[in-house]
């Protein structure tokens, strides 16, 4: 009898664990479907509150394109602004500082708000082996998590550098967990004419961006969920 009671108790416990697991998975899936549905909704244009904005910069032409994009935005609505670049990319942050100084000279801090400049570890350096990149990727993810907890942005703007991927992934999981809703806007580089960059493709396939913009019609044909906006440069 005692052995039979023990078996029944064990079965009941395992059934409870199974039901709990199914319940959690169901809730998470419903939450993800809600996120995928809501992410296509535009930001409320009548919202009186400014939106804290995380801007991801990258080496090469990424930073120049991003600063050109910022020129067409209503900067008084996107404040405070947090610029992030890779730890080895000092030039991008210097350009961002010059840009912010020009905004302050034109409108003043009360109008455009303050800006902060930060660096993030790279997941993988150019030429780094894939084996050693495992450790650096984990460090980069941990650093990105710390930055996202610290900044808690309402908007994330990125346009191709690989440093944006861990930040966007963490933003997505924050949505799933209900910690913070950060709207992610990805603008593909004008240099991408026929296919998305690796960063853009990953975020597109995994449904981790709210809206993805392309600057060439061929990309819109190939990736129907993208938004064609023409050349922004």
> pLDDT tens digit string along 15-40?
677 666 776 667 766 766 656 656 55
Question: Does residue 223 lie in a domain region?
Answer: yes
Burial 28-48 (b: 16+ CB within 10 A, else e): eeeeeeebeeebeeeeeeeee
Residues 6+ apart with CB under 8 A from 155: 43, 51, 52, 53, 54, 78, 182, 183, 185
CATH number assigned to the domain comprising residue 210: 3.40.50.2000
Confidence at residue 147, expressed as pLDDT on a 0 to 100 scale: 94
**CA angle at residue 131 from 130 to 132, to 5 degrees?**
95
> How many domains does one find in the chain?
2
Q: Are residues 20 and 74 in the same domain?
A: no
**Residue 179 belongs to some domain of the structure:** yes
Residue 126: CB atoms within 10 Å: 7
pLDDT at 131 over 80: no
Band of residue 126 on the pLDDT scale cut at 50, 70, 90: low
Same domain, 30 and 58: no
Q: Is residue 150 part of a domain?
A: yes
Q: In what order do the strands lie in the sheet with 211-214?
A: 115-120, 81-86, 53-56, 155-158, 183-187, 211-214, 227-228
Report yes or no: 220 and 228 within 8 Å, Cβ to Cβ.
yes
Q: Are residues 4 and 70 in the same domain?
A: no
Would you say residue 232 has pLDDT above 60?
A: yes
Please choose, from the candidates 54, 120, 67, the residue with its C-alpha nearest in 3D space to the C-alpha of residue 89: 120
- What confidence score (pLDDT) does residue 115 get? 94
Token output for 61: 């032409």
**Both tokens assigned to 223:** 């990736």
């Amino acid at each position: 009898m005692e052995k039979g009671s023990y078996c029944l108790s064990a079965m009941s416990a395992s059934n409870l664990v199974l039901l709990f697991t199914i319940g959690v998975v169901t809730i998470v899936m419903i939450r993800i479907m809600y996120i995928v549905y809501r992410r296509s909704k535009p930001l409320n244009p009548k919202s009186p509150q400014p939106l804290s904005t995380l801007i991801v910069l990258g080496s090469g032409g990424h930073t120049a394109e991003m600063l050109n994009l910022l020129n067409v935005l209503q900067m008084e609505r996107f404040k405070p602004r947090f610029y992030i670049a890779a730890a080895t990319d000092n030039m991008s942050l210097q350009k961002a500082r010059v840009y912010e100084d020009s905004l302050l000279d034109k409108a003043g801090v009360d109008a455009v708000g303050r800006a902060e400049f930060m660096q993030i570890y790279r997941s993988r350096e150019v030429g780094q082996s894939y084996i050693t990149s495992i450790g650096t990727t984990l460090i980069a993810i941990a650093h990105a998590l710390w930055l996202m907890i610290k900044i808690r942005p309402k908007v994330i703007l990125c346009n191709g550098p690989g440093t944006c991927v861990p930040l966007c992934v963490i933003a997505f999981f924050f949505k799933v967990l209900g910690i913070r809703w950060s709207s992610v806007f990805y603008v593909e580089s004008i240099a991408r004419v026929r296919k998305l960059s690796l960063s853009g493709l990953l975020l597109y396939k995994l449904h981790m961006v709210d809206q993805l913009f392309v600057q060439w019609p061929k990309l819109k044909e190939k990736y129907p969920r993208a938004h064609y906006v023409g050349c922004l440069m």
